[in-house]
Structure 1
Amino acid sequence: MSSWFGSAPTRVTTSVLLCGYYGEHNLGDDALLDALLAQLPPSVTPLVTAFDQAQISRQHGVASVNRRSLRAVLKALRQCRALVLGGGSLLQDSTSFRSLLYYAALITAARLQGKPVLLWAQGLGPLRRRRSRALVRVLLPLASGITWRDSSSAQLARQLGVAAPHGTDAVWSLPRQHWLGLGGPIVVCWRPTPHLQGEAWKPYLQALEDLAEQTEREVIWLPFHRDQDQRLFDQLQQQGLVGDALVRRSRVVEAVTPSEAMALFRSASLVLAMRLHALILAALAGSPVSALSYDPKVQACATELGCSCIDLADASAEAGALLSSWLEAFEHPPALACLEAMAQATAMHRALLTTLEV
């Protein structure tokens, strides 16, 4: 094991290992990779951890290593001069404690090899287990530099003994687009969630049907995480939860890249987003947005953006109230000043990466 974690002689290249949840058919994480590659200094050669390596090669033209093989990633790390944990919330245990151990192994291996570790635009947590908090308390001081994507992550890090600056999510650094959605469809980016099981979906689906009927718009269902979201509309239909009028107005459209998703968003009269990066990309496309929060990070982003947000933990949702909220947001794009402020707050993430220049 020491040959993988330690400093056994090996040929070190000029590459930097960019570690994240890339190539997993999640448009949000692919957007984070877009932002990270755009912020890298020109002198840096990236090597990306990815599951669908062919997709990453096609979309970005960069070399990759299979992220699901810790052995392969550790081998690649030995040939790189630095490690960057790139965006998202990687140090968390909601996926599993094993996932946290994966990133702990990479950080530890890099430091044992004398290589810098950057936590770039990271979220922190949730850390539900006592052993998770203890592990992260040890890991954070090993980082050579840290920027957080939100204030709650920075606050949790301070509780664990490490102070570092926070900005906004790095996806806010991507170029904004001009909204073209007057008269356009309603785009729905919803996901399966424990908050909505069976009949609990009914008020949301009824409000969506009423909105589409009143405004006479098509409804486009956009799966943001292909493997998790793609069958949601069909599953809701099979459960008898989708009204006939909504079925007639609905179709499912797949976007392969974040830019394809933004093209759909910029033509929308309203985007109803559950996923954080669907909310951000829709706002960057200039589209009117309304959020549905299954996670505090979505609520926090909606508050910063100044858009309406429904807490899915609230079991008292009523179709009429939902419809009123969505009609208020309909064809009313976010304020440009707010979008500019969110973008400016990503500058610290770019500054962190300048430490990699050669």
Structure 2
Amino acid sequence: MGDRGKTRTSPGPRVLLCGYYGEHNLGDDALLATLLALLPPSCLVAVTARDHHQVQAQFGVATCPRGEPIRLLWALMHNQLLVLGGGSLLQDSTSQRSLLYYVALILAARLLGRPVLLWGQGLGPLKTRTSRLLARLSLHLVQGITWRDDQSGAMAAAWGIHAPVGRDPVWSLPRRNAVHSAAGPSAGAICLCWRPTPLLDDAGWRQLENQVIEDARRHRTPVCLVPFHAHQDVALLKACAVRLEAAGLVCQFWRPRTPWDFMEGLASVHLVVAMRLHGVILAAMADRPLLALSYDPKVDAAVTAMAIPSISLADPDGLAALPAAWERARRWRLSPDRLARHHQRNRCHQEMLAQRLV
């Protein structure tokens, strides 16, 4: 996004953006890029981050460490507003410790008199009664909310908390002017954006790999493997590459630096097979033939809304439909009308920021 300070005419509110930023996850980078683009240009921004150098270099913003409570409290004291930006932060599927972290952050901000906004958030999963109680109490403390999906909005509404519902904010990621990105996938490649999941056993992974092998041999195409989350996906994809190369396929690893590099690099790809939600969204926005392997209701919602061919990994018999879904995916293209409706639904995210950051 560059240095936001270059666009300011006069200082605006000081805003602390909190999320899973600087984690070397292209999906979280895309959320941050979208949020920064939608903030009023006069805002003075600080971002919680794990890798400070990556976030500072890529986005030109000040940072503070997300995992150091004293420094985070200091940042709260020196900013006028807290924005929890994108993703699903009020959940206990990662761990209850994660939920407690964000509940404590909201409480600390309110004790300091700082307004709190939940921007483009998902709500849940919340597996325990205690988690649901904590999340419900937290929602009553915040000053503005927009949800990214109907299920989250409905859960909050059942608690008496009504707020606008849009789609995932990354659907509104602005396109950048054409640039020459670093080397991307080979022409015609099958691009795999896979992540670890307990929904697939060894037999399931072999079935997926065999489908890749059959298709790559038939079309005489290479395979490109993209670790969307650099820390979580690499080991899985390296193991897959070993087996694919043993079958005679040409494999390459591609690590795009930014969400825009990823979308632009897909121009020569003939098929994307993605699991991660933002891998699906960015590939769809790049208008590439696309198959989604859904491991989570948030992915189900995205593929249903955009009519993307998909396989539900939660369905024990889902992979039986893999060959037919694969062929449908090769013919899939983005619907401009559906994307326009997503953009219209997502206006609530920008409107909430504009109303609260005057």
Report the equivalent of 1:32: 31
Identify if the C-alpha distance between structure 1 residues 317 and 203 changes in structure 2 by more than 3 Å, giving closer, same or farther. Answer: farther
Identity %: 48
CA drift of 1:242 comes to 4.0
Pair 1:215 & 2:219 matched: yes
CA drift of 1:151 comes to 0.2
* Aligned residues of 1:41 and 1:356 also touching (Cα < 8 A): no
CA drift of 1:58 comes to 0.3
Report the equivalent of 1:335: 335
Q: Deviations over 1:61-108 (max 9, x none)?
A: 000001111221111001110000000000001111111111111111
* Aligned residues of 2:175 and 2:260 also touching (Cα < 8 A): no
**What is the alpha-carbon distance in structure 2 between the residues aligned to residue 139 and residue 104 of structure 1?**
6
* Aligned residues of 2:313 and 2:319 also touching (Cα < 8 A): no
CA drift of 1:149 comes to 0.3
Q: Deviations over 1:100-149 (max 9, x none)?
A: 11111111111112221100000000001110001111110111010000
* Aligned residues of 1:123 and 1:148 also touching (Cα < 8 A): yes
Report the equivalent of 1:288: 289
Q: How does 1:136-215 map to 2 (within 5 A)?
A: 136-175=135-174, 184-215=188-219
**What is the alpha-carbon distance in structure 2 between the residues aligned to residue 105 and residue 127 of structure 1?**
17
Report the equivalent of 1:312: 313
Report the equivalent of 1:224: 228
Q: Deviations over 1:239-283 (max 9, x none)?
A: xx54733x5232211112111211222332111110000000011
Q: Stretches of 4+ moved more than 4 A in 1?
A: none
Pair 1:244 & 2:249 matched: no
CA drift of 1:354 comes to 0.9
**What is the alpha-carbon distance in structure 2 between the residues aligned to residue 177 and residue 63 of structure 1?**
22
SS, match of residue 230 in structure 1:
helix
Identify if the C-alpha distance between structure 1 residues 33 and 177 changes in structure 2 by more than 3 Å, giving closer, same or farther. Answer: closer
Q: Write the letter of the residue equivalent to 2:246.
A: D
**What is the alpha-carbon distance in structure 1 between the residues aligned to residue 176 and residue 318 of structure 2?**
33
Show structure 1 runs of 5+ residues with no match.
Answer: 1-12
Report the equivalent of 2:256: 255
SS, match of residue 235 in structure 1:
helix
CA drift of 1:19 comes to 0.5
**What is the alpha-carbon distance in structure 2 between the residues aligned to residue 346 and residue 267 of structure 1?**
29
Identify if the C-alpha distance between structure 1 residues 260 and 237 changes in structure 2 by more than 3 Å, giving closer, same or farther. Answer: closer
**What is the alpha-carbon distance in structure 2 between the residues aligned to residue 305 and residue 263 of structure 1?**
20
TM-score by length of structure 2 reads: 0.90
SS, match of residue 313 in structure 1:
coil
Q: Write the letter of the residue equivalent to 1:220.
A: C
Identify if the C-alpha distance between structure 1 residues 196 and 23 changes in structure 2 by more than 3 Å, giving closer, same or farther. Answer: same
Report the equivalent of 2:279: 278
Identify if the C-alpha distance between structure 1 residues 94 and 318 changes in structure 2 by more than 3 Å, giving closer, same or farther. Answer: closer
**What is the alpha-carbon distance in structure 1 between the residues aligned to residue 175 and residue 188 of structure 2?**
19
* Aligned residues of 1:203 and 1:317 also touching (Cα < 8 A): no
SS, match of residue 171 in structure 2:
helix
CA drift of 1:160 comes to 2.5
**What is the alpha-carbon distance in structure 2 between the residues aligned to residue 197 and residue 160 of structure 1?**
38
CA drift of 1:328 comes to 2.0
Identify if the C-alpha distance between structure 1 residues 182 and 226 changes in structure 2 by more than 3 Å, giving closer, same or farther. Answer: closer
Q: Write the letter of the residue equivalent to 1:244.
A: A
Identify if the C-alpha distance between structure 1 residues 242 and 216 changes in structure 2 by more than 3 Å, giving closer, same or farther. Answer: closer
RMSD: 2.1
* Aligned residues of 1:177 and 1:284 also touching (Cα < 8 A): no
* Aligned residues of 1:288 and 1:331 also touching (Cα < 8 A): yes
**What is the alpha-carbon distance in structure 2 between the residues aligned to residue 50 and residue 151 of structure 1?**
29
* Aligned residues of 1:176 and 1:286 also touching (Cα < 8 A): no
**What is the alpha-carbon distance in structure 2 between the residues aligned to residue 177 and residue 213 of structure 1?**
35
Identify if the C-alpha distance between structure 1 residues 177 and 291 changes in structure 2 by more than 3 Å, giving closer, same or farther. Answer: farther
SS, match of residue 16 in structure 2:
strand
**What is the alpha-carbon distance in structure 1 between the residues aligned to residue 311 and residue 274 of structure 2?**
10
Report the equivalent of 1:326: 326
CA drift of 1:209 comes to 1.1
Q: How does 1:34-73 map to 2 (within 5 A)?
A: 34-73=33-72
* Aligned residues of 1:84 and 1:119 also touching (Cα < 8 A): yes
SS, match of residue 139 in structure 2:
helix
Identify if the C-alpha distance between structure 1 residues 144 and 225 changes in structure 2 by more than 3 Å, giving closer, same or farther. Answer: same
Q: Deviations over 1:282-307 (max 9, x none)?
A: 11111121100110110110000101
Report the equivalent of 2:354: 354
**What is the alpha-carbon distance in structure 1 between the residues aligned to residue 223 and residue 186 of structure 2?**
14
**What is the alpha-carbon distance in structure 2 between the residues aligned to residue 177 and residue 186 of structure 1?**
25
CA drift of 1:231 comes to 2.0
